[in-house]
Chain A
Amino acid sequence: MAVTSAETSNPGGQSTVLATVQRRFLFIKIGVFLLTGLLILRLWQLQIRDGSHYRTLSQDNRTRSILIHPVRGLIYDRNGILLANSVPSFNLYVQLDDVPDRDALLLKLAELLSLDEQALRKTIRDEGRNTLIRLKQGLSLKEATIVESHLFDLPGVEIYPEAQRNNPQGAYAAHVIGYVGAISEAQLEREEFQDLPRHSIIGQAGVERIYDRTLRGRAGSKLIEVNALGHEKRLLSVEKPHAGSDMYLTIDFRLQKLAEDVLGDQVGAIVALDPQTGATLALASRPGFDPNALSRGLSTEGWNTMRRDMQHPLMNRTIQGQYPPASTFKIIMATAALEAGTIDQTRTLRCAGEFRFGRRAYRDWKAGGHGAVTLHDALIHSCDVYFYRLGHLAGIETIAAAATQFGLGQPTGIDLPGEATGIVPSPEWKRRTQGEPWYPGETISVSIGQGYVMVTPLQMAKVIATIGNQGVARTPYVVHGIRDRGSGMIEERMPAHPASPVLHPDHLRGIQAALAEVVTDGTAQQARSSTVRIAGKTGTAQVVALRATNGEDVPSKFRDHAWFVAYAPLEQPRIALAVLVEHGGHGGSVAVPLAKRLIEAYMAYVSEEEQRTRPPSSLSSPHMGNRRNPLHG
């Protein structure tokens, strides 16, 4: 009994309790003394008795904890074509703490590997307080052999085989795949990278960036004992790294390659989607870059050249390029007016070659005009005056609401980083961003997809895919399967479906019919194909306002952007496409032939695959499905 009942039963006995309690503090005091004594004893043991031993240990600190980088996941296209892997690479490191004479070492290294001694010095200087420094990446076998055989003269030098990101397809699909690079100081500060050590390699763009955590895996480490030269002598313990997961893209590499090839030296973008699922089949952006060069670490000059390039090769134009949609916007105009009841499919509006509004005359692309046209004809021949009038009748709010329903002015939600939103202008938007009221004349420009309205090629591909897919919108996506290296399990992913625009079936059919006739009788007749029926809409986006800008004599930077959005086949579309060629000139003549080639090629792949997968005896194979899918073997 620590506190007796006699003490506590006494109501005024707190002082007695206090005294009892306080007497007990003496034991705590003794305890503190004893523990301090114990610690001092231990200090004596470490510092006095074994002090010289520990001093030797500290002088040539024999143990090192070395990070083992995990193997990064692989990236495949939808048919299992390898897009990114990792190859072993010999990297030359120096541990400065083990170098007794830095000048001698650098001189020797420079001589052995014919390197620039000054450059080595600069590399070390740039690392600041860091003492384990990578002097050279990607040593050839010969260079590695030379170093290994001279290790005795190179204290502190070590060659570590490390994984190097490799893109076997070179520059193809570079914007989708992205590239990797050493984590920057700024990135180290960010919370998502907090568990990463310095010098980690992380994805810096594309799929590599957005799925970095999954691709990266988890680092391991090993504890080694080193000899006096700092070279590994004995492995003490090892914690194995976990390899990253593999990615299966929805991209069909054959189509991707063709899309980049047909663009060639032209600046532009091509997006191909599966309208029924939203899976991206191709995302081509030109000019491109070689991710291998970036992953290996670009020199400062290399970076500067790339950054100064006026054509911005690193920019993924399919999701980051924002352009006026031009006449491709008439698809949205048509649905907006039909759904709002501004007009019906039979009413005609007159086009006399220009539309006078206020003090300005808005001209049609065709001098003299199209005469009295219905919505159907206006779409087929891309009559501007009809849509000027329609826009004036419908008003900007109606137009903006329809464009927003189709997903313009907002990211599509694709699983790629840095997607631009584009602009759906409205009076509210203009007040907010420019602090000015909306002028009615601006509605007229917007009616033919000029003025403030801006879209990305992916957004327009989504719009035309929605029309082709009976008005049902899908979220575009790039990665459809993630395979865990440990378990071999594949996790399939498909984004949630977005809201679809409001579209009456009659209106949809009318627009679909008109888009089909754009190809057979209208502005996109170059897309007429003998193998597949295509529907689409051309567009020619003015870069410089109200000038004749299509002639060959016009400097290319003032030439118009050429658009073509399309889907095929008509009945049950398998592919939806948006083609944009910057400063390409007229949409009908520049963008249309590219689209036709891609659609024909893709439909050939599709029928070839259906032939292969359809059992010869069975005729009941469904039209859809059964596509070869690497995920299902």
Chain B
Amino acid sequence: MDESWPSHRGLDGFDWSFVGIIVALASLSLLTLFSVTGPAAGQRWPIYWKQALWFGVGSVAFLVMSAIGYHTLARWSYLLYGMGLLLLVVVMVSGQGARGAQRWIALGPIRLQPSEFVKIPVLLVLASHYSRQTQPGWWVRVMLPGLIAAPGFVLVLTQPDLGTSLSFLAIYVTLLLAVGVKSKAFGVMVLSTLMIFPFVWGGLWSSLQLYQKGRILSFVDPQYDLGGQGYQGLQSRIAVGSGELIGKGLHGGTQTQFKFLPEGHTDFIFAVFAEEWGFVGAVLLLGLFLALFVLGLDIAMKAKDLLGALLAVGLVGMLAFNTMVNVGMTVGLAPVVGIPLPLLSYGGSTTVMTMAALGLLFSVKRRRWMFRL
């Protein structure tokens, strides 16, 4: 394609508020991880150093993704998706796991979680499908894209990793909503299901006996079969609630520091933050996320081609879904399904993937002044 992108000149279109929010969230992540590790950390490489390193790698991913541009990436989407699926099969055959789940491939000291890296290819594949096939119809709109995304979804679900597979679903449903489906009623139904799903589940959930929950969850996700289901959720709520208005301050979280709250550095990092910085801090953090999503949706709304718009809304949908469900489970509105909080939770694969996703979003923004002929 002989397209020329005027915005390639210098830092034109470089939106400092967008980058500023990312930097702010990353800083809060490091601060919270520092707090979780405690002042007297014995390890040579405390996790906040490792996470800083991952943000470094993630920044490179951000720059690379925004430099390549989404049209090029979309052109290679099926190849990327195929490679991702191949990795998932490798994990299934030889992966390493904790507590019965196979999720990682060991690359020397680094453990790669390929399911994270399949998210973007799935989005690319679906978005380019919808941008090419704009005519309506049940098959083209719903079935075919569903079938395209199914292998990735199923491979991740059977790892089993319920959390990550749900974000595949979120991407699919967001795009479906964006392009619209046959009847508005159906759209509203799916929309409301998606929005309410965690909360309905949460309500239903709390009516179950502890052992029933344990059974259900150990069925879908053995990682949580530690008899500590209710324990984890309760400890998380105690952590959040006891933060009160202004929190207990840095290192002040008695709930956290790995004592009562497991996974304080990964899935339950929001509880750590809310305990130490209180309602004020938690609302501020949610405000930062909200601002990020609004900026993302603005990018989608101003995108000058369908592919860009769909990619942008898909990315926002994925990140927003992860954020809402993660915070939801921390505050006891959603079941504990093991979804990390984007940019906040510790983890190499998820951090690099999130930064790459934001890079892709940024590339849509940079090129939105172009008209395709």
Contact = CB atoms under 8 A, between A and B. Distances in A.
Interface of A: 1-3, 5, 7-8, 14, 17-18, 20-22, 24-29, 31-36, 38-40, 42-44, 46-48, 50-55, 57-59, 61, 63, 65, 97, 128-129, 131, 191, 194-195, 220-223, 236-237, 239
Given A46-B237, A131-B259, A195-B100, 4 more contacts: A18-B306, A21-B306, A43-B274, A54-B237
5 contacts: A28-B177, A29-B294, A65-B228, A191-B96, A239-B211
B244 A58 contact: no
Interface stretch (B46-54, B326-334, B354-362): B326-334
A129 B241 CA distance: 25
Contacts of A20: 180
Instruction: Name, among A46, A51, A65, the residue most crowded by chain B CB atoms within 10 Å (CB to CB).
Output: A46
A53 B241 CA distance: 8
B191 interface: yes
B320 interface: yes
A61 B259 CA distance: 11
B303 A22 contact: yes
Interface of B: 38, 42, 96-100, 134-136, 174, 177-184, 187, 191, 195, 199, 210-211, 214, 226-228, 230-231, 234-235, 237-245, 254-255, 258-260, 274-275, 278-279, 282-283, 286, 289-290, 293-294, 297, 300-301, 303-306, 309-310, 313, 316-317, 320, 324, 327-328, 331-333
Contacts of A131: 259
B241 A223 contact: no
B320 A32 contact: yes
Contacts of B282: 43, 47
B244 A195 contact: no
B226 A36 contact: no
B180 A3 contact: yes
Contacts of A43: 240, 274, 279, 282-283, 286, 331
A555 B181 CA distance: 95
A237 B208 CA distance: 13
Main secondary structure of the interface of B (DSSP, over half): helix
Nearest to B199: A38
Given A1-B182, A24-B178, A46 B241 contact: yes
Main secondary structure of the interface of A (DSSP, over half): helix
A230 B284 CA distance: 36
A55 B242 contact: yes
A51 B180 contact: no
A198 to B, nearest CB: 12
Contact of B136 (A3, A29, A221): A3
Contact of B309 (A5, A8, A22, A47): A22
Contacts of A22: 300-301, 303, 309
B204 to A, nearest CB: 17
A14 B305 contact: yes
B134 A3 contact: yes
Nearest to B258: A129
A223 B303 CA distance: 53
Given A40-B283, A46-B240, A191-B96, A223 B210 contact: yes
A282 B292 CA distance: 72
Contacts of B214: 239
B310 A21 contact: yes
A451 to B, nearest CB: 42
A21 to B, nearest CB: 6
Given A35-B324, A51-B243, A239 B227 contact: yes
B98 A3 contact: no
Instruction: Name, among B231, B255, B294, the residue most crowded by chain A CB atoms within 10 Å (CB to CB).
Output: B231
Nearest to B38: A129
Nearest to B275: A58
Q: Top 6 closest A-B pairs, CB basis? A: A2-B180, A54-B241, A221-B227, A51-B244, A58-B242, A239-B227
B313 A17 contact: no
B294 A32 contact: yes
A61 B239 CA distance: 10
A191 B178 CA distance: 44
B286 A237 contact: no
B260 A61 contact: yes
Contacts of A59: 242, 254
Contacts of B259: 97, 131
Instruction: Name, among B191, B238, B328, the residue most crowded by chain A CB atoms within 10 Å (CB to CB).
Output: B238
Contact of B306 (A17, A25, A32, A50): A17
B244 A55 contact: yes
B324 A39 contact: yes
Nearest to A240: B227
B179 A14 contact: no
Contact of A39 (B100, B191, B328): B328
A2 B228 CA distance: 46
B231 A50 contact: no
A221 B228 contact: yes
Contact of B331 (A42, A48, A58): A42
A588 B320 CA distance: 83
Contacts of B191: 27, 31
Contacts of B199: 38
A27 B317 CA distance: 12
Nearest to A238: B227
Nearest to B299: A25
B215 to A, nearest CB: 10
A55 B239 CA distance: 8
